[in-house]
Amino acid sequence: MSLDHINKAVLVTGGAQRLGAAIARGYGRAGWHVVVHYRASGAAAESLARSLPSAETVQCDLSDSDAAIAMVEQLATRLPDWRVLVNNASTFAEDRFDALDPLVNAAATRVNAVAPVRMAQAFLARARSAAGRRVIQLTDQKLRNPNPDFFSYTMSKHAVDAAAVMLAMTCKGADRVYRLAPGAILPSHDQTDAEAEISHRMNPLARRTGADEVADAALFLATAPLASGQALYIDSGQHLLSQPRDVLYLARSPDAGRG
């Protein structure tokens, strides 16, 4: 497929579902060519791509970071103006602070930390754009409001956040690396809709933060006049609190939703 007519392109990893799909739609509405990455959600990715003005899909298992680099390099040869890489894909599995699961930890490290960093490095080395290139790394408000639940997931997000700061220090010219930290947005793990309605209001504004707000923030960072390395929290202030457990579990306490 010839893409010489494309003005600006973005790759959204994990773009077929959940926050990734909201981000992909936001860029699509703004006139970008959207590359929707998926691992196993091919049907959802294709359906989303068909709904956008200009889009394509790409499959890759990010647990294989060599394959992830190959994907970036292949896109870099085809996309004439590839401006943004949104590292959104992640694995979110439960393990405990007192019983780290080595398999969960290894998967979280590979998918949530190693692959995004290597993809960012390849993108900044290979992608072509006269307007400059921007990496937007999805992290988590847990980095400022830590709790010991989902232990390996949180470890991996700390790792990729630190790496993003270091990569940001190496940016030259118009290149930038940003960190985008959502709070509780969509039901996660085994959470019910009713539990999400309670837990996602456990923030200073007592409101649910929308996926569209994260999408708007990701689009803002594509052109924002911000210094490389800055972090943007989209969480209705959740990161300003000190919550002893993940809100998923706080919502299940007997007193949840009272007062």
Question: What pLDDT, in 10s, does the model give residues 64-91?
Answer: 999 999 999 999 999 999 999 999 999 9
**pTM for this model (two decimals):** 0.93
What pLDDT score was predicted for residue 249? 86
d(CA 84, CA 90): 18
Angle, vertex CA 211, rays to CA 209 and CA 214, nearest 5: 85
Angle, vertex CA 97, rays to CA 190 and CA 155, nearest 5: 85
Mean pLDDT of 155-166: 98
Residue 259 has pLDDT above 60, yes or no: no
CA 3 to chain CA centroid, nearest Å: 25
User: What is 9-250's CATH number?
Assistant: 3.40.50.720
What pLDDT score was predicted for residue 196? 86
Mean pLDDT of the chain: 93
